[in-house]
Structure 1
């Protein structure tokens, strides 16, 4: 079993009794940096981050999963981290998203709804010589290459 698989199991084990928390990703980078991103439907408190970090760290040491020096970093995804799970989209309904699609198009709009395989956004379409129109667009998740929440300081 590789490091990422074992860490995934350990995190899932630790958050099993907290249905509002979910694992976003586990990455073990060359050079020994182990990054675990965990989120919650209503955010994740520092106490949960600390508990997960201690649980994972203890078991990795106990089981000698990583034989070289490593750095364990457990956190919630930063605001600039792209969304990767449908559950993260649900958490951001009502916010403005910047979306890149497979064709290289970039779209921006307010997230209205999240389905099993698509999202619905409200975007403003501007065509030359015409008045801007606000339309609802459905974008299949499998066509999205990157989605980030747009931060507004207005």
Structure 2
């Protein structure tokens, strides 16, 4: 357990020096393969990943404990997990899967510590007469109701 705590300490020390970066996930396998997933307010560069890796590796003794380390950035295929990640994606289209399996797609308009707000745009039948009308509405979704959220990639 001491090994894992030391890795967490070193990673946190590195992140203290780089306030623009934040941790998304830290995984330890049974064979001590360590995976660190980072994100940043302005993205994550290869150099950022190298710096984080060095901050850990250069302060650990491989003779004492052998491990492998992989540091990567959160890609577009990674689910949004933290309010800071949601805030970084304001104005983008996202798809949210709720705990009740309902899917909602919309533009990420607002983010706070408890919830996100999406702008939903769709067409619905007119109340009177034939045809459809464009509708735009805001929907607030608490983080507790979100099972998974992904940035929608459009080509």
Shorter chain as denominator, the TM-score bin is 0.7 to 0.9
1:6 matches 2:3: no
Residue aligning to 1:115: 112
Q: What is the correspondence of 1:25-104 to structure 2 with a 5 Å cutoff?
A: 25-61=25-61, 64=64, 67=65, 70-104=67-101
Normalising by structure 1, we get a TM-score of 0.85
Report which stretch shifted further, 119-128 or 42-51: 119-128
Task: For residue 141 of structure 2, give the secondary structure of its aligned residue in structure 1.
Answer: strand
Structure 2 segments unaligned to the other structure (5+ residues): 127-131
Displacement after TM superposition at 1:60 (Å): 3.4
Please give the secondary structure, in 1, of the residue aligned with 2:59: helix
The equivalent residue for 1:151 is 153
SS at match of 2:76: coil
Q: Which residue of 2 aligns with 1:138?
A: 140
Number of aligned pairs? 150
- How far apart in 1 are the matches of 2:71 and 2:25? 10
TM normalised by structure 2 equals 0.85
Which whole-Å deviations, capped at 9, do the CAs of 1:91-122 have from their partners, x for residues lacking one? 00000111011111011100001011000001
In the aligned structure 2, how far is the partner of 1:126 from the partner of 1:113? Answer: 23
Larger Rg: 2
Q: 1:29 to 1:139 in 2, by over 3 A?
A: same
RMSD: 2.2
Separation of aligned partners in 2, 1:150 and 1:57? 35
Moved over 6 A (4+): none
Q: Which deviates the most, 91-100 or 122-131?
A: 122-131
